[in-house]
């Protein structure tokens, strides 16, 4: 998919990677807002710099077990870090372990020492290490050595690498906003983490892109109020080539989203109250954004989390707002509310 107008985000992350490490950076935003695409662009643009990127995209794997985590993060090699041969056209690395190293019978401290060794080797070579993990929350349910949470222990390691020793940047990407809330409220990470939102495209950028792609003024004026995410623009362009008007494409989008929402509500678990779901969605009848305190209440919390987990709502805990995950989702919510 074509890379669309994220110069500000690319510039921020490129600059961040070249500063002295001082905190863990959480890059968050609605699903499909372009977080990974932006990060990969940064890696590509800095591939000839003195930065060594360790990049792990956990979306490409089923939720890993302990053993799978080890195989994802490490590669058998005499070197302490090695080019990741599975990432085509991308110069990123994995941590190396000796060919006879029995990683499955090692403690968590042994594993972390191997990560540390790889980072120290990069620094000895006069280069800057940057560790990037995409969808880090997928490691939530992995435990080592008498029930130690891998994720919690990783955060301790990350704080040591960044805030304490200033050795390595750690950047975590996620669209799981309830996970971001856990991190944001964590006393362990207080004053040791930063947050960067990659959100919807601006209307100005969307207009510019559509104009460059040959859309007429009437087409742009019609669809500008329905678009928010990069992949929607690609879909709109493809559908136009296939002979669909922008009106037909957008009508299809909203109908599909409304049907998905209806199906979700028709099959809610017993512990979720449908009336409370409608009450929450009703907050968006006339507003695309609402403040956290309007929805996050004890009596609505289960239904709120249900809508967030099912990617109906996006919870921006850092800026204190809740909104649908996309503008087309907002229109689908409004269409659903007309039926209630």
Q: Are 172 and 24 in contact (CB under 8 A)?
A: yes
Q: Tokens 């070249």 correspond to what residue?
A: 18
Reported as a single tens digit per residue, the pLDDT across 115-162 is: 999 999 999 999 999 999 999 999 988 888 778 889 999 999 999 999
CATH number at residue 240: 1.10.10.10
Helix ranges (H only) for the chain are 7-18, 35-45, 66-73, 108-124, 150-159, 177-185, 203-212, 217-223, 230-241, 246-266, 274-282, 301-309, 327-338
C-alpha to C-alpha distance for 34 and 92, rounded to whole angstroms = 19
Range of the domain at 161: 7-197
Residue 141's φ and ψ, nearest 5 degrees, are -100, 30
Do 48 and 23 reside in the same domain of the chain? yes
Q: Which of 197, 222, 248 is at the close of a domain?
A: 197
The DSSP code for 114 is H
For 86-122, write each residue's pLDDT tens digit: 887 899 999 999 888 887 778 889 999 999 999 999 9
User: Is position 2 within any domain?
Assistant: no
pTM of the model: 0.94
Per-residue pLDDT at 4 exceeds 80: no
Question: Can you name the residues that pair with 81 across neighbouring β-strands?
Answer: 95
Same domain, 165 and 226: no
Considering the domain architecture, whether residues 226 and 243 belong to the same structural domain is answered as: yes
């Amino acid at each position: 998919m074509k890379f669309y107008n994220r110069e500000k985000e690319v510039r921020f992350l490129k600059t961040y990677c070249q500063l002295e490490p001082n905190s863990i950076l959480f890059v968050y935003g609605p699903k499909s807002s372009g977080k990974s695409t932006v990060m990969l662009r940064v890696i590509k643009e800095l591939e000839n710099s003195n930065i060594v990127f360790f990049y792990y995209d956990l979306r490409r794997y089923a939720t890993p077990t302990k053993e799978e985590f080890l195989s994802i993060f490490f590669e058998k090699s005499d070197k302490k870090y090695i080019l990741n041969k599975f990432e085509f056209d991308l110069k990123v690395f994995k941590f190396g372990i000796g060919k006879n190293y029995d990683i499955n019978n090692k403690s968590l401290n042994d594993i972390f020492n191997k990560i540390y060794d790889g980072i120290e080797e990069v620094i000895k070579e006069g280069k800057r290490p940057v560790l990037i993990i995409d969808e880090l929350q997928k490691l939530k349910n992995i435990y080592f050595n008498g029930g130690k949470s891998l994720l919690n222990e990783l955060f301790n390691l990350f704080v040591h690498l960044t805030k304490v020793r200033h050795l390595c940047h750690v950047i975590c990407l996620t669209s799981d906003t309830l996970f971001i809330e856990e991190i944001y409220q964590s006393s362990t990470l207080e004053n040791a983490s930063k947050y960067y939102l990659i959100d919807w495209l601006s209307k100005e950028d969307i207009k510019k892109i559509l104009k460059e792609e040959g859309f007429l003024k009437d087409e742009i004026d019609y669809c500008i109020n329905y678009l928010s995410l990069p992949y929607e623009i690609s879909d709109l362009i493809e559908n136009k080539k296939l002979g669909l008007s922008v009106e037909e494409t957008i009508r299809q989008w909203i109908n599909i989203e409304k049907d998905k929402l209806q199906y979700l509500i028709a099959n809610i678990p017993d512990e979720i109250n449908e009336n409370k779901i409608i009450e929450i969605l009703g907050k968006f009848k006339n507003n695309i954004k609402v403040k956290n305190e309007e929805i996050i209440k004890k009596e609505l919390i289960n239904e709120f989390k249900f809508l967030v987990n099912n990617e109906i709502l996006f919870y921006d805990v850092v800026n204190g707002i809740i909104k649908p995950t996309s503008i087309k989702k907002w229109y689908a919510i409004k269409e659903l509310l007309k039926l209630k």
